[in-house]
Structure 1
């Protein structure tokens, strides 16, 4: 059972779909989806992936190397169920990787994608960031802060993220081969000071997409551009979406 919210105030306009990160959920987007959708005059859908927020628990608590591809299949099923055939994907971190995979695997439903801090391969800086988050979970009040949003899902969610990415079998995870299947326009965003990835992620994505892809590296920003510089992200996002929809 997924916790899902759809807002459709603009008849005959596309739908923005927001895909959260590894510790994210609907509530942690705050008002960003509503603001970007209103500014671009788009409808929007936001949901907690299974195992997150107010959605049900993981069906399979142990992840395999292809778990993000499975999430792309789930997203496509949601789009079909809700008759969304003009989707604009906005994905953050893991959600960005899911956006890329969905655009590659189900191009007929995806009009454009925006990603923030998306990963297409594993870097040492990513693993270092995850180890730091794991240590914070074990030594600070992070469990209590996350439980405000994820409730009974909290421990399993953190374990699934940290143990999967830090596992030896995940070191060679790489979805670069999917990127040439992306034909829709793409805006690939990353903070220059992102603690979970280097600009090589952005450069790889832009270089391998078949469709028009543009990079935006933001100086002085870390892994959460939509929280750190929301006005800039909304302005850039609206400009990009207007180009795609004109």
Structure 2
């Protein structure tokens, strides 16, 4: 067993308030022996889970000398799936940031002092959740790094999500995704139906970001198939102290498409702002 593998805790489950109803959340600590180290909390993409992150959170936590906290949001991975017939509302990302995440941290006993030193690392929908959390609780984190976050809906976003639906329903993509979720349809259609809701076209969180006080790093690839560089440009316009990293030959998953560049950027960012 490698040192890295030895520092990964077993997957655990905890009950907490999921907003509309109680849920069981799958979570995992990385480097749990570093009890005095700050927490790096990872927020996965719209079809993600603990398993879909693969080894990247561990790699980054080792680089940052942090404890890691990874979890699957309700509806994903081995966490409580959506209830039959449930459709997530337009504000589902707000609920994850302002209700589910704080309830999850409460259930784990992560107190206000630990939260004030906590770094959020979010990808795609997880990046949006990180931004919404930082705007709602501006003192309850040390800083955040977001990759390919969504602030508003672009035509290319809708086109990409429509294409994902067709791929899911006509190819082997569903079978591949099933390896990462106990209820793969819960994960896919929860995300897909919410983003393709016509009411979602008016969704825009840009104005909410002005309350973010902590250090903020935003990373985007020029070849992102779901959104343009305007997403992080608007972050900079709303949060003057935000730092931007724009990557060439990078699509919607910077931590997979440009791993070294992303790790270097996040490590330098955290190092510069860590008290």
Q: Report if TM-score (shorter chain) is over 0.5.
A: yes
Q: TM-score, normalised by structure 2?
A: 0.86
Contact kept? 2:76, 2:186, Cα under 8 Å = no
1:219 maps to which residue? 248
Q: Describe how 1:42-191 pairs up with structure 2 within 5 A.
A: 42-58=66-82, 61-72=86-97, 73-81=99-107, 82-83=109-110, 84-85=114-115, 86-151=117-182, 153-191=183-221
Structure 1, unpaired ranges of 5+: none
Name the counterpart of 2:39. 15
Aligned residue among 27, 43, 52 for 1:4: 27
Structure 2 contact 82–190 (Cα < 8 Å) conserved: no
User: Bigger CA drift: 190-199 or 5-14?
Assistant: 5-14
Alignment deviations for residues 209-228 of structure 1 (CA, whole Å, 9 cap, x no partner) = 25x21111100100011011
Determine the C-alpha separation between the residues in 2 that align with 1:9 and 1:112: 22
2:146 match: secondary structure? strand
Distance 2:132 2:160 in 1: 23
Correspondences of 1:197-212 after superposition (within 5 Å): 197-209=227-239, 212=241
Say whether residues 1:196 and 2:226 are aligned partners: yes
What is the TM-score normalised by the length of structure 1? 0.95
Deviations 1:91-135 (A, max 9, x none): 000000000000011122111000011001000011111011001
The answer to whether the 8 Å contact 2:75/2:190 transfers is: no
The answer to which of 82-91 and 194-203 deviates more is: 82-91
Question: For residues 36 and 24 of structure 1, what CA distance do their matches in structure 2 show?
Answer: 18
Secondary structure in structure 1 of the residue aligned to 2:41: strand
Structure 1 residue 80 displacement after superposition: 3.0
Task: Name the SS for the 1:109 alignment partner.
Answer: coil
Q: Please state how far the C-alpha of 1:12 moved relative to its aligned partner.
A: 2.4
Say if 2:59 is the partner of 1:35: yes
Q: Paired residue for 1:229?
A: 258
Rounded to whole Å, the distance in 2 between the matches of 1:232 and 1:127 is 28
Structure 2: any 5+ residue segments left out of the alignment? 1-23
Give yes or no for contact 1:76–1:106 (8 Å, CA) kept in 2. Answer: no
Q: RMSD of the alignment, in Å?
A: 1.3
Quote the Cα distance in structure 2 between the aligned partners of 1:239 and 1:134.
37
Secondary structure of residue in 1 paired with 2:77: coil
* 1:172 Cα deviation from its structure 2 partner: 0.2
3-state DSSP class of the match of 2:157? helix
Per-residue Cα deviation, 1:70-95 (whole angstroms, up to 9, x for no partner):
00121122223332322100000000
